[in-house]
Amino acid sequence: MASTDILDAEHRTGRIKVHKPEDFEGMRRAGRLAAECLDMLVPHVVPGAVTDDLDRMAREFILDHGALPACLGYRGYTKTLCISPNHIVCHGIPGERSLREGDIANIDVTVIVDGWHGDTSRMYGVGQIAPRAKRLVEVTYEALERGLAAVKPGATTGDIGHAIQSYVESMRCSVVRDFCGHGVGRVFHDAPNILHFGQRGTGEVLKPGMFFTIEPMVNLGKHPVKLLADGWTAVTRDKSLSAQCEHSVGVTEAAYEVFTVSPAGLFKPPLQSA
């Protein structure tokens, strides 16, 4: 996801691209490969898995498919994946750290296929997880579904944020404010910002051909986050658990198309809880 500050500072023209019907095919190919990369990782996300090994597997998978890892070298980032376990909200950097039984971890990947960016993330449960962790993950997936259901021509970005925030807060969880979804396409992080909170009828009006991500970050505790000294890793201030999932989507005449559907049906993890 994009930091809301970075997006405001950099925001190109601020104009939202409206893509042509043939551009959808480019996004389908990029989105499918990104989803296949996350599918490939599923059997490897087990207790003891070293996060750097997962990163290497993803990088090789992407390169073997003739695509590029978008994060590698992006604003100085040196990995292919972001791996964010437990109280890490987003942008966890793969390294020597290994995953442990009971962790919940978000893995986020962006691939570039013929210039088009496919950006998706999902949650993985490592072995048996606690019931409250399972509930958080379920709330986060439902939040994304509610956001998607608000996407159609004539609706606004605020309708998406409102749908997500009102649901998440009704479940006694909180929505992270400091990072947002973003326009996507030939550019990785473009206009518009897709805030995961807000008011109905505010923001930008959606039109067929707009491409963007929806990627809510949901905390079991309060919403504030802090950035670690590495300049990337964002964690919950209150150390509460955090979860996220992300799709890249296009607005169609009818409503929307999800570009990052898992061909194997693995977007939502089967979670084992005690």
The 203-242 contact track toward ligand MF3, x by CB under 6 A, reads ------------x----------------x----------
d(CA 231, CA 95): 15
By CB under 6 A, tell whether 55 contacts ligand MF3.
no
How many other β-carbons are positioned within 10 Å of the β-carbon of residue 66?
9
By CB under 6 A, tell whether 110 contacts ligand MF3.
yes
Sequence-separated (6 or more) residues with CB below 8 Å from residue 158: 195, 198, 199, 200, 201, 202, 203
Beta strands, E only, the chain = 2-3, 68-69, 81-85, 88-90, 104-113, 116-125, 128-129, 174-175, 179-183, 190-194, 211-214, 217-219, 225-227, 234-236, 242-244, 247-251, 256-258, 272-273
Q: Which does 71 bind (CB under 5 to 8 A by kind): ligand MF3, Co ion, none?
A: ligand MF3
Assign residue 127 a region (left: φ > 0; alpha: ψ between -120 and 50; beta: otherwise): left
Q: Interface with ligand MF3 by CB under 6 A: which range of 5-13, 47-55, 68-76, 130-138? A: 68-76
CB of 95 to ligand MF3, least distance (A): 14
By CB under 5 A, tell whether 108 contacts Co ion.
yes
Site for Co ion in 232-251 (CB under 5 A): 246
Length of the chain: 274
CB of 108 to ligand MF3, least distance (A): 4
Sequence-separated (6 or more) residues with CB below 8 Å from residue 129: 102, 103, 104, 271, 272, 273
The 119-158 contact track toward ligand MF3, x by CB under 6 A, reads x---------------------------------------
Structure tokens at 253: 């005449």
Q: Interface with Co ion by CB under 5 A: which range of 49-57, 101-109, 157-165, 227-235? A: 101-109
Contact 124, 133 (CB under 8 A): no
Residue 149's identity, in one-letter code, is: A
Q: Interface with Co ion by CB under 5 A: which range of 10-18, 39-47, 211-219, 266-274? A: 211-219
Q: Which does 19 bind (CB under 5 to 8 A by kind): ligand MF3, Co ion, none?
A: none
Q: Residues interacting with Co ion, by CB under 5 A? A: 1, 108, 119, 121, 213, 246
Q: Residues interacting with ligand MF3, by CB under 6 A? A: 1-2, 71, 74-75, 77, 82, 91, 108, 110, 119, 215, 232, 246
